[in-house]
Structure 1
Amino acid sequence: MILLDRISVLLVFLITTFSAIGQEKNVAFSYRTVTTQQYSGYYNPNGISTSFEGAINAKNYLTGRESNSERTNKIQQLLDKHNKVVLPNYPITVSTKGLSLKSNSTLIFQPKSQLIMENNSQDYYQLLKVHGVSNVKIYNANLKGDRKGHRSKSGEWGYGISIRSAKDILIQNSKITDFWGDGIAIGYSNTSTNSNIEIRNAFIDNNRRNGISVMNVNGLLLENIYVSNTNGTLPMFGIDFEPNNASDNLNNIRINNIQSYNNKMGGLMITFNNLKPNSAKNILFNINNFSDDSSHEGILIAGIPKTSKNLKGQINLNNITLTRNARPLTGRTIHNDNVVVNIENLDVRNPKNKNISHAEVDRVFKTKKNYSIKFRR
């Protein structure tokens, strides 16, 4: 009876083929301030301990009188020449050129270090570029975008960190806020798939498109991340897994201890709709301890289209808590017996829409042969 009572208030997996990014543009949204106490277990404003041994301090090469462009060029020269760079212990503004990291390098932020994107009108920019490189470490990053001072209404591709054709990347203890597009984009490339990417301990807030967008990776760990208040232009999810084309991969994904809060459209989306017909891909997602509070949708699994018959794999979710969502979980039809979704220890709390009866939930589940769901008791 306890299980039946829990199911009776659950809004889950809708049969409809509604598009979360097409039919719900008018979802109400209000920014909710996230306190240091809320994200304190995810990001440490004082930084995590890391060795400065052998590092070049950029402060010694700056006068404080440079233009944004001059300052950016000076720091870029240091990044090109040295394997370990420490930023000044104060905020600095960067030009839209952004900064690129090379292979076998480390970038360290001090407690008061911050990189700020200059106000601009560009549709597309990247504050930190991790492109075509390997063995890169970024510690204690504090990045702020220009969305509040952006001089145009067009575009949606202003990124805090852009990762492409990269491998063996570690981003640890970061704060990424106010970007015109995504806080972090693990992007597509025509040359190679991103691999062995680790993003640990982060607070990602008030970015315009997605908190984290993942388009192309084989081997990704997202761990101990608080992502909130994503709003502005679709999709507006905290974390969005969405390949761009048939050359992209989403495989060997691990997600541990993620808190999603008040993202306009949703907390987590996984979709394969952009894969071309008959793309032969393996997918594996292992998601543990994911929570969403007050986003419109908690989790959207957008299903497998009829054209992706050669896709195979698993999406495994365990210990999932979804609170105060209009749609806690949405699952579209998977037209492929080789892809399964396993959800265990699911707990839906105080859904905004309480009108789904047990009979209706039961009817929906009977049509979802690729899904296995067990509720937290």
Structure 2
Amino acid sequence: MRDPINFRVNLSIRLVLIILLFLLSQCKKDYIQDSVTPSITLGSQNDVSLATSVISVPYDVSKSLPANFVKNGTKDYTTYLQSALNKYTNIVFPAFPILVNATGLKILSNTTITFLAGSKLLLVPNNLPNYSVIRIYNVSNVVLNNPVIIGDRYAHSSIDGQWGQGITISGSKNIILNAPNITNCWGDGIYLSSIDTLNNHNITINNAYCRSNRRNGISVTSAVGLTLESPYAGYSDGSPPSAGIDFEAESSADQLQKIVINNARTEYNTGNGITMGFRSLFGGRNKFIGFQLNNCMDKGSAIGLNATATLTRRVGNETVTGDIKVINPYWRKNTNTPLATNLLVTTIRLNVVNPIVQDITGQQLTDAQALAIFTYKTHINRTANYTITF
């Protein structure tokens, strides 16, 4: 006969074990479900960031091209490209040339564009005095990686104008260009300016290559916080000033501050390797400038470095104040002179440290010989506020 007491104890133990096994199975089930398909509840900034990171995959712009598109750069796909730029913020250009017209491509804020090896934008030849293949106007947070642009300089159907640009940055901030390669533009390879009194702020251009552009390799009329890291700008000719890198304000609303150039290489420009013009900063309130050039080299341009501040735009007693620091320049075979100034205000200070100079034949000059060339006649104007330290 079954013992009632033992029976009740055994039954209780069995019930406890069954309950424990059920609870453990539920925990395991929950763990497996969570590990396979984690849920994201969009209710916080972190959740939104996580969701964005999951879906932010670079968009191949060729998906926006028409069916049976060509890969040899012979058909104009400007409107298709712009449609993609208007929809996506992380874009990849494919590894083949694409033809665009003088309308150009407008870049929106918070956009990253990467050009794969072999990718390039070819400009449809036109007769316009002014164009921009890529326009970055009044936007922020833009990154362009490895853009390659070939202009229409040698197929341009008019002689008018000098402002056909590869990339124009106007009134924008937090812009990065990595390794832009721009050749054969009717005007400048890269052009930075203000727009509606908005100045550029915090612009970085790394390893630019600008060659055989008709006006300048790189032109800057307005920037506050600009870094040019290892730029190349050579063989500018056809329309003055034909400089490698040209800093030249256009109006008294412009700013040229916090500008750093590292390891620039300019060569064989019919104008200057690097030129600076501050005349148009006059005409309004007092202005401040700031330049530092480190380890910059020019070969074969008319003048290695030219800085001017004439007073033709001055309307009162306003001043332009600041420093131009030139450290370790290397000027070689300049056809006119390695260094020239026309700084007619002593509030602009030029400081040249440790220059190395070769004459037109490639003979390296002694410090005394270099100083004699710098100060010959009015290569450096006698009223300029300058120091040269060897």
Residue among 57, 61, 69 paired with 1:58: 61
Scaled by the length of structure 1, what TM-score is found? 0.80
Structure 1: which amino acid aligns with 2:389?
Answer: K
Secondary structure, aligned partner of 2:279: coil
Structure 2: which amino acid aligns with 1:331?
Answer: T
RMSD of the alignment, in Å?
A: 2.5
Residue among 312, 317, 342 paired with 2:321: 312
Structure 1: which amino acid aligns with 2:231?
Answer: I
Pair 1:298 & 2:332 matched = no
Secondary structure, aligned partner of 1:332: strand
Shift of 1:333: 3.2
Alignment of 1:166-181 (within 5 A): 166-181=172-187
CA distance in 2, matches of 1:345, 1:150: 43
Aligned twin of 2:286: 280
CA distance in 2, matches of 1:154, 1:323: 34
Structure 2: which amino acid aligns with 1:89?
Answer: A
Q: Report if the CA contact (8 A) 2:112-2:144 is conserved.
A: yes
Structure 1: which amino acid aligns with 2:166?
Answer: G
Alignment of 1:103-182 (within 5 A): 103-182=109-188
CA distance in 1, matches of 2:61, 2:293: 39
RCO higher in structure (CA 8 A, sep ≥6):
1
Shift of 1:176: 0.5
Q: Which runs of 5+ in 1 are unaligned?
A: 1-51
Residue among 64, 76, 79 paired with 1:73: 79
Q: Report if the CA contact (8 A) 2:112-2:143 is conserved.
A: yes
CA distance in 1, matches of 2:283, 2:192: 23
Secondary structure, aligned partner of 1:78: helix
Aligned twin of 1:346: 355
From the superposition, tell whether residues 279 and 56 of structure 1 become closer, same or farther in structure 2 (CA, over 3 Å).
same
CA distance in 2, matches of 1:359, 1:74: 56
Shift of 1:61: 2.3
CA distance in 2, matches of 1:348, 1:126: 37
CA shift digits 1:287-330 (9 cap, x unpaired)? 10110000111110113537374211111110101000121110
CA distance in 1, matches of 2:76, 2:332: 48
CA shift digits 1:76-100 (9 cap, x unpaired)? 1111110111112100110111001
CA distance in 2, matches of 1:271, 1:352: 29
CA distance in 2, matches of 1:120, 1:237: 24
Alignment of 1:1-377 (within 5 A): 54-62=57-65, 63-65=67-69, 71-277=77-283, 279-305=285-311, 307=314, 309-325=318-334, 326-335=336-345, 337-351=346-360, 358=372, 361=375, 367-375=382-390
Q: Report if the CA contact (8 A) 2:340-2:374 is conserved.
A: no
Q: Report if the CA contact (8 A) 2:342-2:384 is conserved.
A: no
Scaled by the length of structure 2, what TM-score is found? 0.78
Shift of 1:241: 0.3
Moved more, 141-150 or 307-316: 307-316
Q: Report if the CA contact (8 A) 1:278-1:310 is conserved.
A: no
Aligned twin of 1:46: none
From the superposition, tell whether residues 205 and 251 of structure 1 become closer, same or farther in structure 2 (CA, over 3 Å).
same
Shift of 1:274: 1.9
Structure 1: which amino acid aligns with 2:385?
Answer: N
Secondary structure, aligned partner of 2:113: strand
Secondary structure, aligned partner of 1:181: coil
Q: Report if the CA contact (8 A) 2:138-2:195 is conserved.
A: no
Secondary structure, aligned partner of 2:231: strand
Q: Report if the CA contact (8 A) 1:99-1:128 is conserved.
A: yes
From the superposition, tell whether residues 187 and 359 of structure 1 become closer, same or farther in structure 2 (CA, over 3 Å).
closer
Q: Which has the higher helix share?
A: 2
Q: Report if the CA contact (8 A) 2:177-2:206 is conserved.
A: yes
Q: Report if the CA contact (8 A) 2:111-2:142 is conserved.
A: yes
CA distance in 1, matches of 2:348, 2:118: 46
Secondary structure, aligned partner of 2:157: coil
Aligned twin of 1:8: none
CA shift digits 1:61-82 (9 cap, x unpaired)? 2235489886111111111110
